[in-house]
Structure 1
């Protein structure tokens, strides 16, 4: 029996969220400021989106462009405020200047999440050693997903890495779901599904009019149709 593939869509506000759900999204990644590749949204934005849809929401914990943690106490406060408002799934990921995981920062934020599910985002695509990063994070509570393109430059270049890591699913450091995003195109889907990848993340692909325009339910629906036809 086939299992429905997960489709996650980036949402900047309630209008995006409603359209994404209408198009068949299973989950939203909530961010603000895509000029900085997605930062922590205001609590009020989360609350408005949560009131508008009933699908899963993962909220970004990231204060500035780049992959340094920055002000960790501020990150922890943001996590606390979002959890108080009802957030129960998150997205985060921090590297040190050498491209190694900033384990101290990740652990401090994850401690505040108190077991909530979370995604380690595309910081993995900038890591000096992806395998080492995975093994360092393997036992942290709540980590169930890696959002990755397989390469800092996107899925076109990262596809061999994605296929290799999909084949390692279940081995130490590779128990988490691979959520593919970052230059993902519909043309990539058949190869990824055939390799056992069952989760896909889109941002710009859900907005034919660009980031200045809201999510298009019909664009999301096109992805849903392709995923359902092949999964």
Structure 2
């Protein structure tokens, strides 16, 4: 299988510099760097990207999302996203996380393909915009066609527990064509449930347990123990 891995791996969503250091120190395989947790994560500023890249040696993906809210972007916002991808490619990041939809809830194949092409040869993850698409099966095929390597999704549930049936379904439909990465309310308390249903994959968590915006090192260790 093209995307098969020898073991489950762990990606930590980091909203600040401190969390990135904690993620590396406690066994994360990769981070997703973003800012503005209350908005669901937006594009981090370049100063933070440089600072984190210089401080960690595990893989670092960067979210490209100019604002919170929906995933339908204006021409100006799309231009901003393209500029960020071009700039951050030069800073040594390992991949990008984004997703563009149409107003009707379908995947915007044209705009996503433009961004994936611009990011090449770095890998791209279609983020949780997938959780609000209208047709899961058609959207899965569209995202694959766009050239993404991974889909980050809760299975369209409030969290991964609620979405486990959809996660299981789309992973089977995807086969070895794209990796399905469960994320959204994923914690050490429920990861075992997912492992019973899903094949080897990356697991995505902020590992935040106390209402702050800082990853909990003990939670990362606990997640790591399950993997």
State the TM-score, normalizing by the size of structure 1: 0.88
Q: Contact 2:112/2:146 (CA < 8 Å) preserved in 1? A: no
Give the alignment of 1:53-72 within 5 angstroms: 53-65=56-68, 66-70=70-74, 71-72=77-78
- Aligned pair count? 219
Shift of 1:217: 1.8
Q: Is the 8 A contact 2:26 2:217 kept in 1?
A: yes
Among candidates 35, 38, 41, match of residue 41 of structure 2: 38
Which runs of structure 2 are paired with 1:213-228 in the superposition (5 Å)? 214-227=214-227
TM-score where L is the length of structure 2: 0.90
In 2, Cα distance between the equivalents of 1:23 and 1:216? 9
Alignment partner for residue 188 of structure 1, among 187, 190, 194?
Answer: 190
Alpha-carbon contact 2:188-2:219 (below 8 Å) kept? no
**1:62-94 deviation line (CA, Å, top 9, x unaligned):** 011121233111110111111122223000101
> 1:202-217 maps to which residues of 2 (within 5 A)?
202-203=205-206, 206-212=207-213, 214-217=214-217
Separation in structure 1 between the aligned mates of residue 108 and residue 157 of structure 2, nearest angstrom: 18
Measured on the aligned residues, the alpha-carbon RMSD in Å equals 1.7
Separation in 2, partners of 1:167, 1:50: 35
- The more displaced of 190-199 and 29-38 is 190-199
**Of 80, 97, 101, which residue of structure 1 is paired with 2:103?**
97
Distance 1:196 1:114 in 2: 27
- The verdict on how the C-alpha distance between 1:188 and 1:219 changes in structure 2, with shifts beyond 3 A counting, is closer
Partner secondary structure for residue 192 of structure 1: helix
Unaligned runs of 5+ in 2: none
Alpha-carbon distance, 1:197 to partner: 4.2
Instruction: Tell me the SS of whatever aligns to 1:210.
Output: coil
Report the CA distance between 1:31 and its aligned residue: 0.3
- Choose which of 107, 119, 123 in structure 2 pairs with 1:113: 119
Q: Tell me, what secondary structure is at the counterpart of 2:215?
A: coil
Partner secondary structure for residue 162 of structure 2: helix
